[in-house]
Every structure is written in structure tokens, then in C-alpha cells.
Structure 1
Amino acid sequence: MSASQPTFVIPHIHSLLTQYFYIVPPAVLVCYILYQRLFHPLARIPGPFLASLTNWWYVHATRTETWHRIVVSLHERYGPIVRIAPNEVSVSTPKAVRQIYPVSSSAFPKSDWYSVFRGTRKVDLFAGQDQRAHGQHRKMVARAYAMDTLKDLEPYVDYCLGMLVEQLDRNVGQKVDMAKWVHLFSFDVIGEITWSANFGFLTAGVDDGTFNTIRAMGRSGSWLGHVPYVFRMHELLKPYIGNWLGINNRHGAIRDFAMRETARRFENPGGKKDLINRFFDAHEKNPEEFTYTDVISMGTTQVSAGSDTTAVSIRAIIYYVLQSPSVKAKLIAEIDKAKRKGELNNPVKHEEAAKLKYLQAVISESLRVHPAMAVNLPRVVPNGGAKIEGHYLPGGTVVGMSAWAVHKDKEVYGEDAYAFRPERWLEKDTTDMNRCLLTFGAGSRACLGRNMAAQQMSKIIPTLFLNYDMELADPEKDWRVECLLFVGQYDMDVTFKRRQDYW
């Protein structure tokens, strides 16, 4: 009898395993779906069905390179709070800005999305998640980004403006891709204000591949942040499979340039008033907390983050002004009037541009209509939870806001919030509108370089319109927009005519 037992038991076990294979996994899946849709703390928050089940819906939406439009349509369809992942929501109401991005504290820390950008760097003011470390490092370098530092940096911007105008003069009467030239300008400015050494892009009329490197980094990092475990797994396997992720380009040519120029300046300080000199000051005062490697990291971040955001913003200003004849006419009239009264130099000084009210309204409106940052700015709800838009979000929930969605709020920006109309910044008190402007982030983690970006925008726009009559080569043709980490614009053809001598 014992000899015949295996012939009975083995088929029986096989039958049980077969039933297990066909029944248990589907049952687990059904239970998971029911939990996420009916019992999860975020179950009552509306949103796409697949978004409530897996982060890969968010990954797919990001990889379409149209997230800036998707997030607006989501809030139009579902309301002010939308579930965009199993444990993440997007909020669009301006009143939530102060709650999620407080100025006086960091109650809502940055989420794990930022970890793929930080990598192993100790100092990263954009991607650092350690609140205490960020506060310390921000204090160390804050002086370098103060308003009174801008005067010391202005000659570097003027030098690059001179190179830009020289190149544009060679193309007067021809069709010029202004998107490209603005990009070259913003990179050379970053090099000048950081190391007193530009990349040579304006002189060459082309970059050295750096633009594609940063685009690959943004394309890769923007979706990897939603599934950071994929990045960590890749890093473990990289010695065997090589590098397959563009996010790791942050260790390439840009950092090599930063290392080379930082070393050159360290050996020959020269009394320059650029940023690297101020970073060296911070290093000398706190050599253990802010190391020489941290100085290099600050320079690298300055290039990879600051140049693209500024370029996107300048392109937006030029494009929307040229698309609107009435705005262009008012802007030129203001610039010409100031010039006739002797209130403008050429190139225009920052303090002069700050007094041109319509110019500043045009800049603010362009930043509102086309903010540079493509992604939501994800934060983590602190322990104890928080109530946002009538919904209780437990501690650990990821919550973020998209500038593209917030800037469309009609309660703050008016019924014509979807339109480009600079006059809205001159018609009433702008406190609420400015508070809700998320172009450079908000709260205690707002971009430190926003004053420098504002300086460059305030100088280049009136200088260009003072010297040139610019028109879109084909007013009916839309520019090409690519939504990665930033919402970059390409193929912006403009024709130039000289208005007067530059000097």
C-alpha cells in the first residue's frame, strides 16, 4: 500500500498547485483593487482609475512629455484635489500653497522623488531631503544669492549680452532660432557669474552636447522619481550592466567643467566677485560642514538647474510678446520713453529695468502662463496627517502642486486666467498673485537663484527691444514644447532688424 501512495499523492499535489496558481493571484489582485478603490485613506479622492492602483500610471503620464497639459486637464475634470498615484495627490487651489510650502518651517519635507536627482551628494539645495542639513547649507551660501550681490554679478551678464548682440547683428535680416540663442546665452551667463569663465557657446554659436546631456537627465529623472526603487536597483547592477539611465549624466561633462574651473579659481582666486568666490568663503568658514567637494556640487547644480529655467522663462517672454501686437507696442513705447528721458543705458541696467512697470508685468505674466518647472513639487504629509481641500491625508501621503495648474486659478488670476494679459499685474494689488506664482517654487525651499534669473530677464528683454525690431518669422506656427523636468521650447524662429547702434 505504501508503494502505491506516491502515485496518488503526486497528482493530488499537482492539482492543488494548479488551483492555487489560477485562483490565489487573481484573488489577491481583486482584494488589492478593492482596497485601493474602497478602503484606502485616499479612496474618496477622485482621479484616473489606474492611478489609484500603481505609480506606473504616473510614470507613463510623465513619459508622454505632456504632463504640464495632463495635470491641468486632470484638475479641470476632477476638481482641486486629484489622486495621481496610490499614495499621492495633486492640489491646485492657491490657498493650499502656504500649507504645503510654508515659509517659516519645513513641516512638509521633500518626497523620495528628489532622491534620484541628489544621488550621493551631501549638498544639493534642490534635491536634498534632510531638512536640518538643507537649512544649514542654505544659510552658508545665502549671501551669495542676496539681492545686493546682483550688482557685483551684473557686469558678467552685460558681457554675455554684448556677445549675444554681436551674434544677432551678424544675422540681421535673416531668420534666427531665438530659442537656441537664448539657451546659449543663459549657459554662458551661468558660467560667467559662477566662475568668471563662460562655456564659449555664444562665440561658437552652438553648444558642445551639454544641452542634450541635461535633457537626457531631465527625461530620465522626471519619471524615475516616481519609482525610485528602479533607480536604486539600477545603481546596484550598474557595475555589471553599465549605465542605462540619463539621470547619471549629472556626473559627466557638466561636473567635469565645474571641477576644472573650481580648481583653477582655487589656485588663482584673483579677487573676483563671482559666486564661486562666495562659495569658497563659505568653505573657509565651515570646512567640515561645507567641503571643497560641496563647492563643486553647488557649481554643478547652478549650471544644470539655473541655466535651463532661465532660458525657458526668457523664451516665454519673447514668444508671448511677439504673439501679441498690442503688448509689444506698449512694451516698446515704455522702453523708448525711458530711453528718450535718459533713464536707460544700453545694455539696460537691472535697477533701470526694475522701474519699467509694464516690462515687469510682462515678465510676471510670462512666468505665470509658461512656468519653467514641468513637474509637481512633491512633499510628504508630516506625522499626524493634514486636512487639505476637505480631505484628511494621513502622515506619509505625498502631496504636490503644479505651477501649470495653480496659475490657471480664476479666483486669483481672473476669469481670463488662461489668456496672456500683462495688464492684470497693474490693475489691482498683486500680493495673492505673487504668492501663488510657483515658477521658482515656494516657501522655505524656494529657488535661491530666482533673483539672478529675474536680473537676467529684466536686462535682456528691454535690451533686445531697444536695439531690434523683432517679429515671429511665421506667426501662425507654434513653437515646439517638450515637457521633461522643465517645459522647454524649441523652433522659435524670429527675424531681426536693427533699430539703432548698440553702443
Structure 2
Amino acid sequence: MFGSMPASLVLLGTALVGAVLFRIFYNLFFHPLAKFPGPWYCAISSLPISIISVLRIEPQWLQSLVKKYGTDKPIRISSTMLLFPKPSTLKEIYWEPALNQKAGLYGTGILGPPHLFTTLDGDNHRALRKALGGPQWSIGSLKNHWESRIDDQVQLFIEKMTERAEKRDEVVLCDKVAEFAADIMTMLSFSQPWGFVKNSRDERGILKSWRQGLDFFGFAGRSKFCQNYLIHLPGLSAVLLPKTTDEGGMGWLINQAINQVADREVLIKEKGFHGKPDFMQHCLEARMNGEPLSQTQKVAHVTLLIQAGADTTGTGLGSTLRFLVLHEEKRKRAQAEIEAADRAGKLSTPVQYEEVREHLPYFVACIKESLRLNPPATNLFARVTPKDGFRLDGHYIPPGVDITSNAYVVQRDPELYAPDPDAFRPERWLEDKDLANTMEASSFVFGMGPRVCLGKDIAIMELYKLLPEIIRRFDIKLIEEGRFVVAGGVGYNRGFKAKLTRRA
């Protein structure tokens, strides 16, 4: 068989096979992480978990590992990654300054030019967060400056759904609420919504483009070989990543950001800016060490809210509606709560954020329970242990190890959410105040610590405003349940179809 092959090729092939076998043997038995439990095939390489992500079974697979190995020890889910399944470890991982170095998932370049979300170094992130964050994105500021504009979009959404109800149309409800979220994010970013709801469509295929890229994002973010070698091959990024010349999708979004930043800068230079500051304006005014952001940074951050917040917030909206439709007794209780508050004159039209928070506690519990079970970003947000290693949850973790938790796992903790961690039971948030506080502190929906999601309060504002208004105005008849899909660590709803009937 090998007689006709040059000896050098035979030698090279033998060496490669030997190197692979040695690496497998080392990872299984002598690697510093070999003492931790986990599937043998994950100890060998990062390829299995990359494939599992592409197969879109990662959350269920992780949960199966927790049921098999328990929560007492971290679980080895890759040759260099440990999963900490207990909610109590969240604070230790994500608030600890020594663990503020992000892992390779963030640095692949797949999400476009570097921005706040993809900044790996903790010190650089802190400076950038200080420049871009601040009170303008808090609930208080959103109520004062943006709630009336969000009200306009809520009313437009209700009008459009009323038209569909009168025609007795079937509505893919998960897509419609995602379009609402996209309009809110484009409005906050550029002052004007881009017409997703008005035109009843996914403008320029932005949401579709985002979802299509998730599998590659998940694979590249989990595969060390891809991060270290493949992603750097000349010309590969030009083939796989969005381009500003694209007619739609994320490439078109980036091109729009480039043009709008340039137009705004001309306007500021000629006339100054006198309107309500949107996120683009905050990016233009941001200063790091006294210097403005680079043009690349400005453009990258202008698109950040839309990339990170449109479809994920849409997922929270769609999941809550699906859970309420599937659990009729819960929906009826939520409706009764809204009706009682309405009769008492406690609700405006559209309902206001503070009214929901104060007068609709059960509805708020429904939202929290939906986000617990269907977290929109159930990703492997890993941190890298420092050069001296780190002791976490009683275990010494060697240097250079990726340590992570996972929202889908910790938010189904068998002890904290006993006896029914997989059940949709909003009442659990109202039965015991101390337990509710513990569950709140253990929520990983929006991340945790100094890198918590910048748009967290925006998402909460949307959830609290649109969802009660839908349940208030419509009866919903399920046509197709659809399903919650997790691709590349990001969740979205697909195929949730219903008929709406206007309520008296």
C-alpha cells in the first residue's frame, strides 16, 4: 500500500498520527483538567462542542451533562473549558476582577469591527464602557426621554395587528414582535425606526441575516482550531463575513451606519446637533482618554444595539407570548390582573412602564419566568483564568482555562427551582420574597458584573410595555406552537403562528 509513496510522506503521516494520538492521550489522562468530570470526547478536542452548537442541541446537551455529573464539580465540556453549573458561582466568575479577560468566543471578528461586546481585555472594556455607557441607558432616562416614542411604536403595532385580526389572518407572532424590537433599536440608534412594523416585513433581511450567521458564530467561537488558524486564512473573512456592498443583511446595516455617521458629523460641523441624543450621538461624543473614538469604533458601536438587542429582545417577547398561549390558566390570570387594574383606572393607553411594575406583579412574574426558561442569549460567555490560576467554588483552576456558566443550565438549577425547574410556573416569583430575591440574583439572562448587557434596561422596557398591551387587546388562538431554537448560543423563536381576535 505504501510502496509507491515517498518515504518522506510516510514519515510525515506517521508523525502526524503519532502527534494526534499523543495529544488525545495527554488530554485524557495528564492534562490539568483531566481530574474534572465530563464526556471523554470533549476532553480530546474543542471540535465536539463546536459540532454540538451547529446541531442546535447545546442547551439540552449541557443540561444532560448536569443531570449525569451533578453540580458539585465543574464539568469539562472542552479540552480547555469548564462549565460551572451552580447559580452560586455566577458572582464568583463574572464579578471577579481577576477573571475579567474574555475568552476566544468574543474575538473571532464574526460580529464585525471590534466593539464593546467583543473587547477581550478587562481594562480596555472598562474604559470603553465608561465612554459609551452611563445613565442615558438606565430605566430612568429611558422613561424620561424615550418612553413616549416607544408608546408610538406600541400603538402602531397594535394597529397593524388589529388589521390582521379583522382580516382573520394567521400571524407568525414571533417574527412580528422581533420586527417591533428591531424598530425600537433602530430608533434608539438613529432617532428614527426603519419601518419593520409599518411595512410589516424584515427590512433588508436584517433579522434573517443575523440568524443565518449564528451557526458559524457558534462554531468559530467554540473551535480553538478555527480561532487560532482558520479564521486568519487570507480571503476567508471576505467569503464568510458580511460586506458593506451587500444589498441587505448585516453588511447593509454596517454600510448604513457608515453613511449615517458621516452625515451626522457633517451636520454637527455645519449646524451643531440640537435634537434628542440617540446612541449614534453618544458614540460621536464619547471620549476615551480625552480622545474621540475612531471611525471604525463609531460605526461598530452604532450597530451594536441592533446586532445584540433586536432579535434577542424579540425572542423574549415571543417566548413570553408562547408560554402564555400554551398555559391558558396563566394567560387568563394575567388578563384578569390587567382588567382589574384597567377598571381601577391604573393603566394608561398604552400602558406605562411604572404602571406595569407597580400594578401587574403577576404579569411581571410571567415575563421573568419566560426569560428563565428561554434565555435569549444562552451562550458560553467564558472568562480566562489568570497566570497564577484561580480558586473557584473550592476548586483550583489552572491558568489559561476558559471557565463559564450557562443561563439555560443555572436557571434550571434543581435545588433553587425545586420541585419543578422545567415548568412554566410564574407563581414561584410571588410565593416567597426571599426566594424571589435569590432567583433574581441568580438570573443570567442579561449577563452579570461589569460586562452586563448595555441594553438590559431597553429590553426590559420593551417587554413591560408591548406584552401587556397585546394580552390586553387580543385573544390569541394557537395555530402552530413553533419552537425555541438556540443557534451559536443565541436563542430565537421560529414558526410560532396564531390568530388574533380583538377583545372588547
TM-score in terms of structure 1 length: 0.89
Alignment equivalent of 1:64, drawn from 55, 65, 80: 55
Q: Where in structure 2 are the equivalents of 1:372-411 lying within 5 Å?
A: 372-411=376-415
Partners of 1:217 and 1:248 within 8 A in 2? no
User: Who is 1:454 aligned against?
Assistant: 460
Q: CA deviation at 1:97?
A: 0.8
In the alignment, residue 261 of structure 1 is paired with which amino acid? Q
Tell me the equivalent position of 2:192. Answer: 197
Residues 235 and 414 of structure 1, relative CA distance in 2, 3 Å threshold: closer
Cα shift readout 1:6-41 (whole Å, capped 9, x = no counterpart): xxxxxxxx9987985686555444433322111111
Show the 5 A alignment for 1:172-183.
172=165, 173-183=168-178
Tell me whether 1:226 sits opposite 2:222 in the alignment.
yes
In the alignment, structure 2 segments of 5+ residues that lack a partner are none
Distance verdict in 2 for CA 1:136–1:16, change over 3 Å? closer
Q: What residue number does 2:70 align with?
A: 79
For residue 312 of structure 1, the aligned residue among 311, 315, 323 is 315
Maintained 8 Å contact 1:321/1:327: yes
Q: 1:423 aligns with which of 427, 435, 444?
A: 427
Task: Indicate the residue corresponding to 2:123 in structure 1.
Answer: 132
- Corresponding letter in the other structure for 2:388: G
Distance in 1, Cα, partners of 2:29 & 2:486: 37
Letter in 1 for 2:121: D
Report the Cα distance in structure 2 between the residues aligned to 1:251 and 1:497, rounded to whole angstroms: 35
Relative distance call for 1:180 and 1:200 in structure 2 (3 A) is same
- Equivalent residue in structure 1 for 2:347, among 323, 340, 344: 344
Aligned-pair distance for 1:206? 1.1
* Separation in 1, partners of 2:183, 2:462: 12
Structure 1's unaligned 5+ residue stretches are 1-13
Partner of 1:282: 286
Give the TM-score of the pair, scaled to structure 2.
Answer: 0.89
1:199 deviates by 1.6
Tell me, in whole angstroms, the C-alpha distance in 2 between the residues paired with 1:262 and 1:361: 40
Bigger mean CA offset, 209-218 vs 127-136 = 209-218
Partner of 2:161: 168
Change in CA separation of 1:160 and 1:32 when aligned onto 2, cut-off 3 Å: same
Within the alignment, does 1:464 sit opposite 2:456 as a pair? no
Cα deviations by residue, 1:67-94 (Å, 9 ceiling, x for unpaired): 1211111221223322111111111111
Shift of 1:238: 4.0
Aligned match of 2:450 in 438, 444, 447?
Answer: 444
Counterpart of 1:260 in structure 2 is 259
* Mapped partners of 2:469, 2:84: distance in 1: 38
Contact 2:58 2:486 in 1 (8 A): no
What does 1:93-112 correspond to in 2, within 5 Å?
A: 93-102=86-95, 105=97, 107-112=99-104
Which residue matches 1:297?
300
Shift of 1:347: 0.9
Give the alignment partner of residue 325 of structure 1, picking from 320, 325, 328. 328
Q: Deviations over 1:244-278 (max 9, x none)?
A: 32477896111112223333444163412433333
Q: Give me the whole-angstrom Cα distance separating, in 2, the residues matched to 1:309 and 1:22.
A: 46
Q: 1:146 to 1:41 in 2, by over 3 A?
A: same
Pairing 1:49–2:44 present: no
Name the CA distance, whole Å, in 2 between partners of 1:467 and 1:15: 77
Show the counterpart of 2:370. Answer: 366
The separation in 2 between residues aligned to 1:24 and 1:116, in whole angstroms, is 30
Question: What is the identity, as a one-letter code, of the residue corresponding to 2:90?
Answer: V
Larger radius of gyration: 1
- The corresponding residue for 2:105 is 113
Instruction: Write the distance in 2 (CA, Å) between the matches of 1:437 and 1:312.
Output: 17
Q: 1:417 to 1:120 in 2, by over 3 A?
A: closer
Deviation at 1:130, TM superposition (A): 1.7
Is contact 1:403–1:438 with CA below 8 Å preserved after alignment?
yes
3-state SS of paired residue (2:286)? helix
Q: How many residues align?
A: 482
Query: Is the contact made by 1:114 and 1:225 (CA closer than 8 Å) also made in structure 2?
Result: yes
- Aligned with 1:137: secondary structure? helix
The letter of the residue matching 2:176 is: W
1:308 deviates by: 1.4
Q: Tell me how large the CA RMSD over aligned residues is.
A: 2.6
Compared with structure 1, are the counterparts of its residues 465 and 29 closer, same or farther at alpha carbon in structure 2 (3 Å cutoff)? Answer: closer
More displaced 10-residue stretch of structure 1: 256-265 or 201-210: 256-265
Hey, what does 1:146 align to over in structure 2? 138
Worse overlay, 388-397 or 90-99 = 388-397
Shift of 1:343: 0.9
Cα distance in 2, alignment partners of residues 295 and 273 from structure 1: 15
Cα distance, 1:235–1:112 mapped onto 2, change above 3 Å: closer
Provide the C-alpha distance between the structure 2 equivalents of 1:384 and 1:339, rounded to a whole number of angstroms.
59
Q: 1:111 to 1:392 in 2, by over 3 A?
A: same
1:244 aligns with 2:239: yes
SS at match of 1:225: helix
Which residue number in structure 2 is paired with residue 493 of structure 1? 497
Q: Which residue of 2 aligns with 1:10?
A: none
Q: 1:248 to 1:71 in 2, by over 3 A?
A: farther
Question: Residue 95 of structure 1 aligns to which amino acid in structure 2?
Answer: S
Secondary structure of the structure 1 residue equivalent to 2:97: coil
Q: Distance in 2 between matches of 1:479 and 1:137?
A: 37
Report the 3-state secondary structure (helix = DSSP H, G, I; strand = E; otherwise coil) of the residue aligned with 2:443. coil
- 3-state SS of paired residue (1:471): strand
Paired with 2:222 and 2:121, the residues of 1 have a C-alpha distance of 19
Cα gap change, 1:264/1:353 in structure 2, threshold over 3 Å: closer, same or farther? farther
Q: CA deviation at 1:447?
A: 0.5
